[in-house]
């Protein structure tokens, strides 16, 4: 079996986490290569399965990325996670889809591109004080801003400019992120594997490493794991990996993000093997018609 771990131009080789998983797969006789997702030099038909790993620039070229996924589907090259699930997960409207299915999320308002509305109007309508706004298709905290009530006037112009370019999400700011951090609970092959807690640096609200955030080993309480399992239950199979990012809102856990492929494998000794096992289980033998059928996956209604 030959696998491609899809990467992006800024990180053409495997990340630290992916090297751990690739080593496990190679020990099991699976060939693993890194391949830049938008490289015209890659012959994707060489691979039995393409595992979507560090394609971190997808949000900058979402249409091109979706087109690449469609190309793989036309070529009959399966992906993990499956392409329909990935397309659904690219746009943060999936949070609203999950909320309609009973999942507790950070309250979210979706604004279509070109909508004429101010932050003050959204805040007044929802009864929120401090806000966070971000593009509906985004990653790593890019173009995400926290806005205190007194600072709204200064943010109205940049917010309006962004809304003129793309769909946006507006949410209330969650103080618990600063106080207790943000959980990432990782599921591999549908089973809970491990968790980390992410914390923002002083003076920052974003927990991503690009903004000085740090990642800490931690063990979530059983009730939080059970809640995360209920969230993952809404992800249509086959789902090779999922990451439930959660924080506390009004005393209860709420979903912030789901399915992101950064899995913090180095933070648990068994995690690389668990991912390798999940990949092998879903990839099966060499690719044959019907062996892996990602195109049969149906995201939640509304996706």
Distant-in-sequence contacts of 116-123, Cβ < 8 A, 24+ apart: 117/163, 118/152, 118/156, 118/159, 118/160, 119/147, 119/152, 119/155, 119/156, 119/159, 119/170, 120/152, 120/156, 122/170, 123/149, 123/152
Phi, psi (rounded to 5 degrees) for 80 = -130, 120
241 and 180 in a common domain: yes
Sequence length of the chain is 303
- For 232, the domain range is 94-104+176-263
In a domain, residue 303? The reply is no
Of 171, 190, 217, the residue at which a domain comes to its end is: 171
Model confidence, pTM:
0.90
In a domain, residue 269? The reply is no
185 and 162 in a common domain: no
* pLDDT for position 162: 95
In a domain, residue 302? The reply is no
In a domain, residue 7? The reply is yes
**SS3 at position 102:** coil
Domain of residue 186, CATH code: 3.30.470.20
In a domain, residue 300? The reply is no
* pLDDT for position 160: 97
Task: Please state the domain count of the chain.
Answer: 3
Domain of residue 117, CATH code: 3.30.1490
* pLDDT for position 259: 77
In a domain, residue 78? The reply is yes
Structure token digits, residue 72: 């793989």
86 and 7 in a common domain: yes
* pLDDT for position 213: 87
Domain of residue 38, CATH code: 3.40.50.20
34 and 79 in a common domain: yes
Per-residue pLDDT of the chain in tens (303 residues, 90 and over written 9): 999 999 999 999 999 999 999 999 999 999 999 999 999 999 999 999 999 999 999 988 999 999 999 999 999 999 999 999 999 999 999 999 999 999 999 999 999 999 999 999 999 999 999 999 999 998 776 788 999 999 999 999 999 999 999 999 999 999 999 889 999 999 999 999 999 999 988 887 778 777 678 999 999 999 999 999 999 999 988 899 999 999 988 889 999 999 778 999 999 999 999 999 999 999 974 343 333 333 233 344 333
236 and 98 in a common domain: yes
* pLDDT for position 231: 97
* pLDDT for position 142: 75
**SS3 at position 243:** strand
**E-state strands within 73-213:** 79-80, 109-111, 131-135, 145-147, 168-172, 182-188, 191-199
56 and 160 in a common domain: no
198 and 70 in a common domain: no
236 and 100 in a common domain: yes
Nearest-angstrom CA–CA distance, 178 and 188: 28
Q: For residue 236, how many other CB atoms are within 10 A of its CB?
A: 16
């Amino acid at each position: 079996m030959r696998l491609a771990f899809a990467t992006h131009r800024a990180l053409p080789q495997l990340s630290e986490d992916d090297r751990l998983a690739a080593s496990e797969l190679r020990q099991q006789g699976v060939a693993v290569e890194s391949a830049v997702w938008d490289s015209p030099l890659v012959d994707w038909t060489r691979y039995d399965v393409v595992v979507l790993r560090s394609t971190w620039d997808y949000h900058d070229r979402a249409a091109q990325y979706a087109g690449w996924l469609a190309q793989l589907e036309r070529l009959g090259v399966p992906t993990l996670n499956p392409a329909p699930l990935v397309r659904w997960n690219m746009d943060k409207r999936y949070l609203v889809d999950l909320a309609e299915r009973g999942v507790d999320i950070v309250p979210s308002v979706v604004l279509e591109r070109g909508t004429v509305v101010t932050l003050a109007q959204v805040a007044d309508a929802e009864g929120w004080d401090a806000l966070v706004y971000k593009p509906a298709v985004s990653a790593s905290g890019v173009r995400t801003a926290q806005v205190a009530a007194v600072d709204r006037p200064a943010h109205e112009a940049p917010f309006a400019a962004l809304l003129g370019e793309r769909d946006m999400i507006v949410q209330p700011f969650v103080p618990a992120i600063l106080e207790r951090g943000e959980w990432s609970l990782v599921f591999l092959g549908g089973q809970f594997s491990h968790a980390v807690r992410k914390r923002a640096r002083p003076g920052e609200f974003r927990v991503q490493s690009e903004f000085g955030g740090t990642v800490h080993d931690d063990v979530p309480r059983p009730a939080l794991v059970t809640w995360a399992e209920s969230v993952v239950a809404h992800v249509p199979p086959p789902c090779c990996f999922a990451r439930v990012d959660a924080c506390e809102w009004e005393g209860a856990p709420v979903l912030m993000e789901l399915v992101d492929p950064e899995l913090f494998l180095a933070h648990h000794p068994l995690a690389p093997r668990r991912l390798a096992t999940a990949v092998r289980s879903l990839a099966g033998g060499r690719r044959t018609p019907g062996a892996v059928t990602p195109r049969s996956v149906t995201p939640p209604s509304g996706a």
